[in-house]
Amino acid sequence: MLRIGNHLPSSKGYLAMAKHAEKLGANTFAFFTRNPRGGAAKPIDESDIEKFLSYIKAHDINRLVAHAPYTMNLCSAKPEIRQFGKDMLRDDMQRMEYTPNQYYNFHPGSHTGQGVEVGIEQIADALNEILTPEQHTTVLLETMAGKGSEVGRSFEELREILDRVKLPDKMGVCLDTCHVWEAGYDIVGDLDGVLAQFDRVIGLDKLYAVHLNDSMNSRSAHKDRHQKIGQGHIGLDAIVRVINHPALKTLPFILETPNEDEGYAAEIAMLRAAYSE
Ligand code: FE
Ligand code: FE
Ligand code: ZN
């Protein structure tokens, strides 16, 4: 069965997100752990969590692919921004323990002129400071489009971060189709080749989730502009090959397309129809 859902608003709490997912025909979803622009998160409501956990079990909704706020930059040139990012990451790891055995995805960061090697070191240092052997959350590095000074624009850069993390079992990767396309990987013409490359450099066993987006731009644009499924430069055929690829088809697919509820429900239904069991 296809695991598919979208990025949902989190302001009404966990149970509301699960019901929202169900309404859209989703059986997985993403959400921001706090305001995407950063700042303090709402306190966890334990009774909401309790109802949520039994609801997702009853409705077979799994996985949660939480998303860190965009303001989290573990490799900024500014030490206070790095510290702010680490504080959010630590707090988010504690919050994620209320929904154990799920995923937490983040953008590795932007090195803001320090150079990619410094960026990689700082990201790994932050993870080594905060991750614990006791945690139940798998932290995913997202593949990036390579906009500005983004780190994670190639599989090699992600591998370099992973190599430096002392708790590798707590780490994985989330592949964003729009981002890898705009980073230069030809998932339209040669999906098998791109996945073989991923396997060589990182290992497909480290791939835990897919952000399923079309792109407004041509390959290697490095702009990061998502488009509705089938309306961009990746196109419906290539996206259908992604959800049906043997190396990917059991992963959770998260839509981050520019849609309202109606559009998400339609994309979910269309992709379910295009999925072969
Ligand atoms: Fe993202
Ligand atoms: Fe994404
Ligand atoms: Zn993006």
Please tell me which residue in 226, 233, 264, 267 is annotated as part of the active site.
226
The pLDDT score that the predictor gives to residue 42 is 85
Residue 13 is predicted with a pLDDT of 95
The pLDDT of residue 35 is 81
Among 163, 215, 165, 209, CA closest to 6: 209
Residue 33 C-alpha to ligand 3 middle, in angstroms? Answer: 17
Assess whether 98 carries a catalytic annotation: no
Long-range contacts of 38-47 (CB under 8 A, 24+ apart): 38/69, 38/70, 38/71, 38/72, 38/84, 38/88, 39/69, 39/71, 41/91, 41/92, 41/95, 44/95, 44/98, 45/13, 45/14, 46/98
Q: Which two tokens stand for residue 66?
A: 């939480």
One-letter amino acid of 198: F
pLDDT in tens, 236-265: 999 999 999 999 999 999 999 999 999 999
203-229 per-position pLDDT tens digit? 999 999 999 999 999 999 999 999 999
24-46 in b/e form (b: 16+ CB < 10 A) is bbbbbbbbbbbeeebeebeeeee
The pLDDT of residue 231 is 98
Confidence of residue 168 (pLDDT cuts 50, 70, 90): very high
User: Residue 40 pLDDT > 90, yes or no?
Assistant: no
Ligand 2 centroid from CA 49, angstroms:
25
Question: Average model confidence (pLDDT) for the chain?
Answer: 97
Identify whether 7 is a catalytic site residue: no
142 annotated active-site: yes
pLDDT digit string, tens, across residues 88-145: 999 999 999 999 999 999 999 999 999 999 999 999 999 999 999 999 999 999 999 9
Known catalytic residue at 37: yes
Query: How many angstroms does the Cα of residue 223 sit away from the middle of ligand 2?
Result: 13
pLDDT of residue 37: 77
pLDDT tens figures, 45-67: 999 999 999 999 999 999 999 99
CA of 114 to the centre of ligand 1 (A): 22
Q: Among the options 45, 186, 199, 256, which is catalytic? A: 256
| Cα 188 to averaged position of ligand 3 atoms, centre (Å) | 18
- 226 catalytic residue (yes or no): yes
Q: Residues 3, 20, 111, 142: which is the catalytic one? A: 142
- Record the tokens describing residue 141, joined without a space: 């590095």
Of all ligands present, the nearest one to the C-alpha of 177 is: 2
Question: What DSSP element (H or E) covers 108?
Answer: none
What confidence score (pLDDT) does residue 234 get?
Answer: 98
Identify which of 27, 31, 102 has the alpha carbon closest to the alpha carbon of residue 68. 31
Q: Where are the beta strands (DSSP E) in the chain?
A: 4-8, 29-32, 64-67, 103-106, 109-110, 138-142, 150-151, 171-176, 207-212, 214-215, 226-227, 253-255
pTM for this structure? 0.97
d(CA 198, CA 207): 9
Cis-peptide into 225, omega within 30 deg? no
Alpha-carbon distance of 111 to 129, in angstroms, equals 19
Q: What's the rounded Cα separation, in Å, for the pair 112 and 161? A: 17
With a cut of 90, say whether residue 172 has pLDDT above it. Answer: yes
Please report which helix (H) or strand (E) contains residue 123, including its range.
Answer: helix 116-130
Please state the rounded mean pLDDT for residues 157-173.
98
Q: Is 208 a catalytic residue?
A: no
In the residue annotation, 222 being an active-site residue is answered as no
Residue of 61, 77, 81 lying closest to 69 (CA atoms):
81
Confidence of residue 41 (pLDDT cuts 50, 70, 90): confident
Mean pLDDT across the stretch 158-164?
98
**142-149 average pLDDT score:** 98
d(CA 257, CA 227): 6
Ligand number with the minimum distance to the CA of 254: 2
Give the number of the ligand closest to the Cα of residue 175: 2
Q: Name the active-site residue from 224, 233, 264, 267.
A: 224
164 in catalytic set: no
Task: Provide CB contacts within 8 A for 273, sequence distance 6+.
Answer: none
Mean pLDDT calculated for residue range 149-156: 98
Query: Active site includes 179?
Result: yes
